Structure 1
Amino acid sequence: MKTSAVITLVTAVFLLSGCNSEPSEQDLYNAMNKVVEQTNAIVKSIAGKDVPKDALRELKSVKKHDCVEVSDKSYKCNVTVVVDNEKRTAAVILVKTDDGWQVVDK
């Protein structure tokens, strides 16, 4: 009896922990890196193959401070981001999709 109660409790904890699925720092990095890559692709399509190296951006790091649930599958997160050598703190809104987290507002 005690064994089944412990198993039920452990299972419930794992299931409930899945409900609070705010994006991790790695999720934020991946989502923001997609935006940087899309921006670089646009620059390359406009400038052709002779794109100056300083025209392209590189996401170096993302530090998550906190996230607040906005709706069922979206969160507003405060982050500090380093792009190239520029460090900025901002709020971003992310939505969970079938392809992972997507930035919808910066």
Structure 2
Amino acid sequence: MNQVRRDVFQAISDPTRREIIGLLSRRTLNLNNVADHFTISRPAVAKHIRILTECGLVTVQTRGRETFCQADLKGLKEVSDWANTYQQFWQDKLDALERFLDEDLPDENL
């Protein structure tokens, strides 16, 4: 079977997976508890969990007959670093715009 390489950006592109990450960031839940929060089928939730696991955002542990899921948010650092690059870009642009506008304003003290 050909293993698909998944990345964090692919994982968070889906709103259901983002909601699962949000749920699991607050507490560890078993698979049934996660599925109870959604109107989609349990197998569909399990598929989302598998994708999140493949990219390292969720860890899954079997205890007895239950499967527990826990968020591992360290993987979101890649997203944070990427977003921060653009945050700095836009901050620089807004700072330049502010300087430009300040230069064109008449001096009120004259």
What's the TM-score once normalised by structure 2's chain length?
0.28
Give the number of the structure whose alpha-carbon radius of gyration is greater.
2
**Higher RCO, Cα 8 Å, sep 6+:** 2
What's the TM-score once normalised by structure 1's chain length?
0.29
